[in-house]
Chain A
Amino acid sequence: MIRVGAAAEAPPFDQLARVALSNEQTRRNVRHATDVIRAKRDAAVAELPDWERLRDAAHAIKEHVVSHLDEYLEQFEERCAAAGGVVHWARDADDANQIIVDIIRSHDGREVIKVKTMTSDETRLNVALEAAGIAPYETDLADLIIQLGDDRPSHIVVPALHRNRMEVRALFAEKMQLPGLGSEPGDLTAAARDFLREKFLRVPIGFSGANFAVAETGSVCVVESEGNGRMCLTLPRVLITLVGIEKVIPTFADLEVFLQLLPRSATGERMNPYNSIWTGVSALDGPGEFHVVLLDNGRTRVIADADARDTLDCIRCGACLNACPVYRQTGGHAYGSIYSGPIGAILTPQLQAMEHSRSLPYASSLCGACYEVCPVKIDIPAILVHLRNRLVESGNAPVGERVAMKAAAFAFGSATRFEAGQKLARIAQRPFEEDGWLPRLPGPLAGWSLSRDLPAVPAESFRDWWARRETAPTKPEGSP
């Protein structure tokens, strides 16, 4: 069965968003965290004069890979196997979980140490492991917070960003039995180090995801900060790595592009503390047995839609979440999926059947901030509109949205009508405007705007400004 976490059972976005918006503490936490990451990301990006050219190269590489994905997967499989890795193929979440459980059982494993991986959240691997009597230990600090708190990730890169230090302190004090624990981030980090160290040195089976799989060499690359990744990849006797089929890149040298874009976009660092790259198995260094599980789980369904295929270019940096005015208001849980924010709004409904998450393509004001920051230049707004069209055409769009889409289609149908509509909107919105943001929309769109702060239509459109500029006198003021 194709599965994206528990998204199939999740209520629609507008319902969840209403709940999220009522939690002031969570909103403050999300706002603070995204403000900090955005500022760091912007500074790190501004340092590179060739940022746009890196984005162009990354986009071109990813587009090329997807259009030859079958060939690159076969090449990766061959090179990885030649280096001593065992390659498995999984059609969906259940396939993948079964393969992983079987490998662990073949070693009589009862425990596994895990590196942060969204892909295993996608397949709900931990649920499958526990059902099989195997204890999964999350080792990334944020994932540990999520696991101990029986919580759900709310961000792709910083899954526990909706929790503040006091909440984490209370959780660790209870679960690690440390009544005297302090609440400084340094105290909490030290507690996690002590809690996990014994497991790193003892548990014989490790599990990871992958950021990149190199077809040319059969190598796998994991990007991380804490060193928990290195621990899980290096110390166990057996290593299992779950890789979405879209993670393959052609050559080792292509890392020169992605290892510049990913850390600066994800955490605003020039480079993250650790990257591990390994190839099959190596004598006397690291696990003696290495398995790769290549996962489809709806990805081939995305490939089949040429207008939305770029969704698979995503390198999971989370920059679009931090930049999105909707995500910054609602946080990640409103999306009902482990993949939240703008990328989640296009990825989740494509991976699993559209009707399960048909509200998600509407969880956006189409402001374009996500596209501006995307390091691989995925045109998320265009894909959102495309998915809305798919929903409308298949008769699956929510009723109010169908009306909205018809209005939008009418407006976009002609430039003159679009401009007239913009002017009308500017006039009509005046009584509702607060500081340039629209907290509520009137009439049939009221429910829609409850969960979004739309940027107000600017007082003067670009076209108005341009027209005025052209007709204005060109001489400097005061000259004869």
Chain B
Amino acid sequence: MIAARTQILDAIRRGLGARAVDREKEYRAVTREYVQDGLLDRDQRVELFVQRIQHYDGGVHRCGRGAVAETIAGALSARVKRKLLVPEGFPAEWLPPGFEFVAETNLSYSALDGSDGVITTCTVAIATTGTIILCHGPGEGRRAATLIPDYHLCLVDAQSIVETVPEGVRRIAALKPRLVTTISGPSATADIEMTRIKGVHGPRTLEVVVVS
């Protein structure tokens, strides 16, 4: 094993021959002339994000800070969802009465599979690509909880919506998370005749509530 490591590294060094000594300086010199910072104002960002999610066949609800619970209630009722998983750290005041909310604390996979869906928050959202990003901290739950259930309702704070991919990636990079999942619409495949089919193994229905 150690022999393999040494052989591979030696073969790389032999193959490369002479090269720049200061790796970090060379890395910093990489030209990055692509668009990094967005130009849209907050309302335009929200509008673009909503359009992009809808393009992926994701559902979108919008509400003010005072109307979150009733918006969630409306979304769940419309989909006939009664029993929802809620990760630790999700704001309790956002949960409407009249539903069964199960605390997601290391439940078994079959328990996760037996729920109607899961409600979470997210860390950042990217408007250009209609992407929500989970770092799996408080309110976002562990990875299995947003994977096994067939329905995912994600609360997106309008302030957490950035415009470009570089803005989103840098916000996440600064937090140094160990786990990251980016979600852009419901799971999908186009493996048969390039026909896009929504809903394979991940949640077949994705909805977001944008809170302004």
Interface residues of A (CB under 8 A from B): 29, 32-33, 36-37, 48-50, 53-54, 56-57, 60-61, 64, 66-71, 73-74, 83, 88-91, 95, 139-142, 145, 158, 160-161, 163-165, 168, 185-186, 188-189, 192-193, 196-197, 200-201, 217, 219, 225-228, 230-231, 233-235, 245, 250-253, 255-257, 259-260, 267, 269-280, 282, 284-286, 294, 296, 300-301, 303-304
| A-B pairs, 7 with minimum CB distance | A227-B202, A304-B15, A300-B11, A227-B201, A271-B129, A303-B15, A227-B187
Taken together as a complex, chains A and B put the C-alpha atoms of A50 and B181 apart, in Å, by: 26
Is A277 within 8 A of B179, CB to CB? yes
If A57-B32, A160-B191 touch, whether A271 touches B130 (CB-CB below 8 Å) is yes
Contacts A201-B113, A234-B143 given; does A274 touch B187 at CB 8 Å: yes
Docked complex Cα distance between A188 and B197 (Å): 10
Nearest CB of A to B97, in Å: 30
Q: List 20 A-B contacts (CB under 8 A).
A: A53-B34, A70-B13, A91-B8, A158-B191, A161-B191, A193-B200, A226-B201, A226-B202, A227-B147, A231-B202, A253-B166, A256-B166, A271-B182, A273-B183, A273-B184, A275-B180, A277-B181, A282-B179, A303-B11, A304-B15
Chain A residues, Cβ within 8 Å of B166: 253, 256
Closest residue of chain A to B164 (Cβ to Cβ) is: A256
In the complex, which of the residues A197, A256, A257 has the most CB atoms of chain B within 10 Å of its own CB atom?
Answer: A256
**Interface flags, B110-152, vs A, CB<8A=1, else 0:** 1001000000000000101111000010000011100110000
Instruction: Decide: A279 near B179, CB < 8 A? Known: A161-B194, A250-B27.
Output: yes
Identify which of B5, B32, B56, B109 contacts A201 (C-beta below 8 A): B109
Q: How far is the CA of A269 from the CA of B185 in the complex (A)?
A: 11
Given A57-B34, A71-B23, A74-B9, CB of A95 within 8 Å of CB of B169: no
Q: Is the CB of A256 within 8 A of B169?
A: yes
Q: Please tell me if the beta carbons of B191 and A278 are within 8 angstroms of each other in the complex.
A: no
Residue of B whose beta carbon sits closest to that of A61: B30
- Residue B43 at the chain A interface, CB threshold 8 Å: no
**What residues of A have a CB within 8 angstroms of the CB of B142 in the complex?**
284-286
Q: Which of A141, A186, A250 contacts B191 (CB 8 A)?
A: A141
- Least CB separation from B200: chain A residue: A226
Q: Mark B9-27, 1 if CB is under 8 A from A, else 0.
A: 1011111100110010011
Which residue of chain B has the shortest Cβ distance to A284 in the bound complex?
Answer: B106
- Structural contact, A259 and B13, CB atoms closer than 8 A: no
Mask of B84-99 contacts with A, CB within 8 angstroms, 1/0: 0000000000000000
Interchain CA distance A50-B8 in the complex, whole Å: 37
| A139 to B202 CA separation, bound complex (whole angstroms) | 12
Docked Cα-Cα span, A228 to B8, in Å, equals 32
Query: Does B159 belong to the interface (CB within 8 Å)?
Result: no
- Report how far A85 CA is from B179 CA in the complex, Å: 14
Interface size on B, residues (CB 8 A): 73
Q: CA–CA, A141 to B192, complex, Å?
A: 8
The 8 Å CB contact of B11, one of A56, A67, A219, A296, is: A296
Report the bound CA distance from A236 to B38 in whole Å: 39
Would B191 and A142 count as touching, CB distance under 8 A? yes
- Indicate if B78 sits at the interface (CB-CB under 8 A): no
Taking CB atoms, residues of chain A closer than 8 Å to B183 are 273-274
Contact call B23/A294, Cβ cutoff below 8 A: no
Q: Does B35 belong to the interface (CB within 8 Å)?
A: yes
The answer to whether A228 touches B15, judged by C-beta atoms less than 8 angstroms apart, is no
Most interface-central of B178, B180, B197 (chain A CB within 10 A) = B178
What is the bound-complex CA distance between A69 and B8, given in angstroms? 10
Which parts of B145-188 form the interface with A (CB within 8 Å)?
Answer: 147-148, 165-166, 168-170, 172-173, 176, 178-188
**A386: shortest Cβ distance to chain B, in Å?**
16
B41 in contact (CB, < 8 A):
no
Chain A residues closer than 8 Å to B1, beta-carbon distance = 88-89
A164 contacts which chain B residues (CB < 8 A)? 192-193
A69 to B13, CA, bound (A): 9
Indicate the member of B19, B129, B200 with the most A CB atoms within 10 Å. B200
Q: Which residues of B contact A200 (CB under 8 A)?
A: 201
The answer to whether B26 touches A185, judged by C-beta atoms less than 8 angstroms apart, is no
